[in-house]
């Protein structure tokens, strides 16, 4: 489960996040990102220092936040993500030449 606390630091909105960001909890992060960017703040920082785990749905949520921030002209910054928190399964399969050669032969 993720914890998301919003606070202000001058003109900057800060989202302090903690816990796990996965398929089931990324909705809370998405809602907070959209809410803060729709408030037309000049800048939004997402503090990921206390995030212990983030999977591909969490990364997709952050990318969605980037898209929303571009539409609302809000500067978006991320900080504090630990290397061991990021989990993307089986990247090695995508780097195997045999997989790419099979895909290219189908075209």
Structural domains of the chain, with CATH: 2-105 (3.30.750.24)
The pLDDT of residue 87: 64
The pLDDT of residue 103: 42
The pLDDT of residue 101: 43
- pLDDT lower than 70: segments of the chain: 87-107
Could you tell me if 74 and 42 are in contact, meaning their C-beta atoms sit under 8 angstroms apart? Answer: yes
The pLDDT of residue 90: 53
What are the CA-CA distances from residue 49 to residues 16, 28, 40, 103, 107 (Å)? 8, 17, 24, 39, 44
């Amino acid at each position: 489960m993720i914890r998301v606390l919003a606070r202000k630091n001058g003109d900057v909105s800060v989202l302090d996040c903690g816990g796990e960001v996965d398929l089931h909890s990324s909705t809370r992060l998405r809602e907070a990102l959209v809410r803060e960017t729709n408030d037309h703040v000049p800048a939004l920082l997402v503090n990921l220092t206390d995030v212990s785990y983030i999977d591909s749905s969490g990364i997709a949520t952050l990318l969605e936040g980037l898209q929303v921030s571009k539409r609302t002209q809000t500067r978006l910054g991320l900080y504090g993500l630990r290397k061991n928190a990021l989990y993307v399964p089986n990247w090695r399969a995508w780097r195997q030449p045999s997989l790419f050669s099979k895909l290219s032969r189908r075209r």
